[in-house]
Structure 1
Amino acid sequence: MSGPVAWETARRVGGLVAEGGVFGGGRALDERAWDRLREDFGWATEEAEALVVAETGLVPAEGPSRGEVLDRRAWVAQNLATFERLLTPVLERWPQRQLPGPLGAVQPELAGAELGLVLGWMARRVLGQYDLLVAERPGADPVSYVGPNVAGLEARFGFPPRRFRLWIALHEVTHRCQFTGVPWLRSYFLDLVEQALAEARPDPAKLLEALGRAAQAVRRGENPLAEAGVVGLVASKAQRDLLRRIQALMALLEGHGDVTMNRAAAERLPEAGWFAQVLEERRQRGNPLSRLLLQLTGLGAKLAQYRKGERFIEEVERAGGRELLARVWEGPALLPSWEEIEDPSAWVARVGGA
């Protein structure tokens, strides 16, 4: 065993959890259903790009968007490959054993199992994903859709498949148009990721400080995981500042994605409001284990942040129209800070007269 994480264990556990295990199984798709998913998402991805470009003016610079349909195991494997590529240089700086006694010998297996558990659980919830970190070269950046999750929701709620699939594609293709249609955004985001990884250091003293802050928050009646899950709890001040920059960017991009999706779907998809309501209720009704994982991973906080991003978009446009909002794409200096995401008028005051 080499390294702090047993990646093969993570893949094995992630695949088992994704396909069943503690979260229950699901109806298997036959080959005909897979063929229909591939055909529909091929069409939906192409159609979504045309609608998003018309709505935003952001034209992908690396060729047309391409959709791919994955099963849950493949989604876990794809994301684990990204994690391994990004985290291996960081983990090489960490001590090989941090736990005392016999636990130190199995620590890589424990870490792999924990990572697999989280990704396997996420694989049961994700509908679509555009992740430029998956791509190792320009143009190799497909928009991914998790077929069983999409088909399961359609069957459960009676969604019309082609319309629901186009609705999902609109949001994910918007992200590809953002990252490949704004010349500087891709490199800026990757630089933030590299900075975050460079700041990662194992420090037991900081963990104790974080536990102290968490205890104080609980005594004040606050949720110490509400801001960014466990990552926000153990981060140093410098790391929290960097995390805020990343959160502000992601809130902007997700808010812009939601607004674009809703506008592009307005005439084509009269069911869009129904789709959105059902998915929001699905998030709210999660079982206790799912709600805990949402908090631990910070995904619960992200959902609230994205709603703030949508409000930021709406308030900026209310103040200065789409012309003012378009200034966020001019360069990193015009991106909103987290404080400006929470108070859009501050961004309007800073940028509106510039």
Structure 2
Amino acid sequence: MSPPETPPSAVDWALAERVAVRIGGRAPFSGAHHLDGLTAEFDEHTALAEGLVAETTGLRSLHGEARARVVGRSDWIRANLASLQRLLRPLFEKMAERPATAFTPLAAAAAGTELGAVLGWMSTRVLGQYDLLVLEDEAAEDQDLVYYVGPNLVALERRYAFDPRHFHLWLALHEVTHRAQFTGVAWMREHYLGLVASLLEDAEPEQVNILESLRELAARRRSGTDRADGGVMGMVATPRQQEVLDNIASLMSLLEGHGDVTMDRAGRGIVVGADRFARVLRDRRRSATGVARIFQKIVGLEAKLAQYARGEAFIG
């Protein structure tokens, strides 16, 4: 799938991909042979999980059966770069209309490096993801997918001696719940994407200075004055955009909490070891130190973890 065309001066996407793939490739189990057998297994688990989620919640997708795709870190990176390009297209088009605000090649390279570093790090952590962005002008087979990042699954289950089949079904329950939320509730996808579109429509090219925002975030971290509640986005947001960000955060808190509660209820009596899986992943999220902790602050993940907990408490 070829990503959509964007103004060449916006971000050096090729550099972002190279940086991200290089970082992701340093993590263990990057070889393709580690994915052997996982595709058929996740096809089975995803179908089973979809039925269990429907029985538990009453939510059934209005867009047909869920489709699983097991990927390596590099493929996950490329899929997310393509999604980002589609998502940010309105902002890039606005930039193209204002030559005075166009990025220089050096700035585009810097933005590509920063983006690549974040995606590369995330590619070593993410286990599964539902890609909810659907566009009519993109290939249908590359959209509305439930992704599973095989190398990270293998690394985690070997480190903690998880039973792979139960762990994989447990993960599938979570990701399929997200798909049911966005495709089983007729207005949910459009509502969420509408919030994101509103955020981008209000953005002015002059605001988009990621490097300066990173410097300010680092300075606040050193001085102890950063709140870690919005990452870089929170640093560049106008009051109106901050309101939209708060709405997005509230919605995601609710959906993540609902997802956690649903996977527990749907897997009860079926998934062996679910409590341990959940405990290990909670500890994994919270125990980040050093560079990992800095990255969590940059992308706002610390606040996100707190939102997950609040959402689960509300749903429960």
TM-score (norm 2): 0.87
Q: CA separation of 1:110/1:28 partners in 2, compared to 1, >3 Å: closer, same or farther?
A: closer
Q: 1:172 aligns with which of 170, 175, 179?
A: 175
**Alpha-carbon distance, 1:228 to partner:** 1.2
CA contact (8 A) 1:67 1:145 kept: yes
**Aligned partners of 1:204, 1:292: CA distance in 2, in Å?**
23
- Aligned pairs for 1:310-349 (under 5 A) are 310-314=312-316
1:200 aligns with 2:203: yes
Q: CA separation of 1:51/1:234 partners in 2, compared to 1, >3 Å: closer, same or farther?
A: same
Q: 1:306 aligns with which of 301, 305, 308?
A: 308
- Aligned pairs for 1:170-319 (under 5 A) are 170-203=173-206, 222-224=225-227, 226-314=228-316
CA contact (8 A) 1:164 1:275 kept: yes
What residue number does 2:24 align with? 18
What residue number does 2:118 align with? 118
**Alpha-carbon distance, 1:285 to partner:** 2.3
Q: Which structure has the greater CA radius of gyration?
A: 1
CA contact (8 A) 1:79 1:134 kept: no
Equivalences, count: 303
Q: CA separation of 1:81/1:218 partners in 2, compared to 1, >3 Å: closer, same or farther?
A: closer
**Aligned partners of 1:242, 1:303: CA distance in 2, in Å?**
19
**Alpha-carbon distance, 1:193 to partner:** 1.2
**Aligned partners of 2:32, 2:217: CA distance in 1, in Å?**
48
What residue number does 1:9 align with? 15
**Alpha-carbon distance, 1:202 to partner:** 3.3
3-state SS of paired residue (1:227): coil
RCO comparison, higher one (Cα < 8 Å, 6+) = 2
Letter in 2 for 1:68: R
What residue number does 1:155 align with? 158
3-state SS of paired residue (1:250): helix
Q: CA separation of 1:111/1:218 partners in 2, compared to 1, >3 Å: closer, same or farther?
A: closer
- Aligned pairs for 1:30-109 (under 5 A) are 31=33, 33-94=34-95, 104-109=104-109
**Aligned partners of 2:19, 2:144: CA distance in 1, in Å?**
26
Q: Percent identity between the aligned chains?
A: 44
CA contact (8 A) 1:78 1:134 kept: no
**Aligned partners of 2:183, 2:263: CA distance in 1, in Å?**
17
Q: CA separation of 1:219/1:167 partners in 2, compared to 1, >3 Å: closer, same or farther?
A: closer
What residue number does 1:348 align with? none
**Aligned partners of 1:195, 1:104: CA distance in 2, in Å?**
27
3-state SS of paired residue (1:4): coil
**Alpha-carbon distance, 1:270 to partner:** 3.0
The C-alpha deviation readout for 1:306-341, integer Å capped at 9, x for no partner, is: 111111112xxxxxxxxxxxxxxxxxxxxxxxxxxx
**Alpha-carbon distance, 1:165 to partner:** 0.2
The C-alpha deviation readout for 1:52-83, integer Å capped at 9, x for no partner, is: 00000000111111111010000000000011
CA contact (8 A) 1:3 1:96 kept: no
CA contact (8 A) 1:97 1:104 kept: no
Q: CA separation of 1:147/1:217 partners in 2, compared to 1, >3 Å: closer, same or farther?
A: closer
**Aligned partners of 2:281, 2:48: CA distance in 1, in Å?**
22
CA contact (8 A) 2:21 2:120 kept: yes
**Alpha-carbon distance, 1:126 to partner:** 0.3
**Aligned partners of 2:111, 2:248: CA distance in 1, in Å?**
25
Letter in 2 for 1:41: F
Q: CA separation of 1:289/1:184 partners in 2, compared to 1, >3 Å: closer, same or farther?
A: same
The C-alpha deviation readout for 1:202-252, integer Å capped at 9, x for no partner, is: 346999xx99x989987996533x211121122111001111111111111
CA contact (8 A) 1:98 1:104 kept: no
3-state SS of paired residue (1:46): helix
TM-score (norm 1): 0.78
The C-alpha deviation readout for 1:95-130, integer Å capped at 9, x for no partner, is: 56769xxx9441111111111110111010000000
Letter in 2 for 1:174: T
**Aligned partners of 1:290, 1:104: CA distance in 2, in Å?**
30
**Aligned partners of 2:197, 2:307: CA distance in 1, in Å?**
22
